[in-house]
């Protein structure tokens, strides 16, 4: 009962996720997101409200059924390092992912962090 969306939300979220995962939260600008997703700023804001909200949505999505892929581990690292200290909802999503497996996740997160170092020789 209104104009339909022209973009595929899942694809937009996938592009944004990749950017946040590899460049961090503060290292990813709205312009970066505009470029990567193809959406214009206005549409991005109408659809997701804010950069912070977009990030939370992405994190919530992967928290819902977490798989320890490099990208997801990167995103969890970004959430923990760039936002968790000052953003309770983000912190809670991190807790939801990790649960009682903090030993396991410590290993996964650390190994994933170090892996980046070696890729570029």
Partner DNA sequence: GCGATTAGTGAACGATTAGTCAATAATAAT
Partner DNA sequence: ATTATTATTGACTAATCGTTCACTAATCGC
Tally Cβ neighbours within 10 Å of residue 116. 12
Least gap, CB of 81 to a second copy (angstroms) = 6
11 CA to centre of own chain: 14
- Number of Cβ within 10 Å of residue 114's Cβ equals 9
**Subset of 21-40 contacting a second copy (CB under 8 A):** 22, 24, 26-27
* CA–CA separation, 31 and 85 (whole Å): 25
Closest CA to 76 of 100, 42, 110: 110
- Residues 17 and 23: their CA atoms lie apart, in Å, by 10
Contact between 45 and DNA by CB under 7 A: the answer reads: yes
The verdict on 37 binding DNA (CB under 7 A) reads no
Q: Please say which residue, 72 or 77, places its beta carbon nearer to a second copy.
A: 77
Provide the binding-site residues for a second copy, judged by CB under 8 A: 22, 24, 26-27, 77-78, 80-82, 84-85, 88, 91, 94-95, 98, 102, 105-111, 113-114, 116-117, 120
Provide the binding-site residues for DNA, judged by CB under 7 A: 1-7, 28-32, 39-43, 45-47, 50-52
């Amino acid at each position: 009962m209104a104009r339909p969306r022209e973009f595929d939300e899942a694809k937009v979220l996938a592009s944004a996720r990749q950017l946040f995962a590899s460049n961090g939260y503060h290292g990813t600008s709205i312009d970066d997101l505009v470029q990567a997703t193809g959406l214009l700023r206005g549409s991005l804001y109408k659809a997701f409200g804010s950069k912070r909200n977009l990030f939370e949505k992405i994190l919530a999505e992967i928290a819902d059924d977490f798989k320890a892929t490099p990208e997801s581990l990167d995103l969890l690292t970004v959430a923990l390092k760039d936002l968790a200290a000052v953003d309770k909802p983000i912190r809670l999503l991190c807790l939801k992912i990790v649960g009682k497996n903090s030993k396991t996740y410590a290993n996964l997160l650390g190994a994933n962090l170090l892996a980046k170092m070696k890729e570029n020789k």
